[in-house]
């Protein structure tokens, strides 16, 4: 689902809200999550999951094209861990895996 599809779904589910208001609500939620993560805070949405920031240490990597070693600086990366309710709902809608014939 894209951001515009999310806004369309919310607008359809809430006809009393103007399209501009729905857009502002979605933008505000995403902006607040982004700003909290930028401050190093954890964002938890009960029943959905938690966003955190993890620190990746500096390391030596390889350029896949040339094979040359390159230095990769340490960095902060956003991380999402799905909540129990989200995992259960996703798994309830998932079809069982097929076993390969062997």
For 51, the domain range is: 42-93
pLDDT tens, per residue, the chain with 102 residues: 999 999 999 999 999 999 999 999 999 999 999 999 999 999 999 999 999 999 999 999 999 999 999 999 999 999 999 999 999 999 998 766 654 554
**Predicted TM-score (pTM) of this structure:** 0.73
Contact 53, 40 (CB under 8 A): yes
Residues 46 and 80 in one domain: yes
Residues with Cβ within 8 Å of residue 70, at least 6 apart in sequence: 60, 61, 62, 63
Residue 19 lies in a domain: yes
Residues 34 and 57 in one domain: no
Residues 47 and 34 in one domain: no
Domains: count for the chain = 2
Residue 101 lies in a domain: no
CATH code of the domain covering residue 57 = 4.10.520.10
């Amino acid at each position: 689902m894209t951001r515009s599809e999310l806004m369309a779904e919310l607008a359809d589910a809430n006809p009393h809200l103007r399209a501009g208001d729905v857009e502002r609500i979605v933008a505000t939620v995403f902006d607040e999550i982004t700003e909290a993560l930028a401050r190093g805070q954890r964002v938890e949405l009960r029943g959905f999951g938690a966003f955190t920031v993890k620190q990746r240490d500096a390391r030596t990597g390889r350029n896949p094209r040339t094979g040359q070693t390159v230095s990769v600086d340490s960095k902060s990366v956003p991380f999402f861990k799905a909540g129990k309710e989200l995992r259960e709902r996703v798994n309830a809608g998932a079809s069982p895996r097929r076993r390969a014939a062997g």
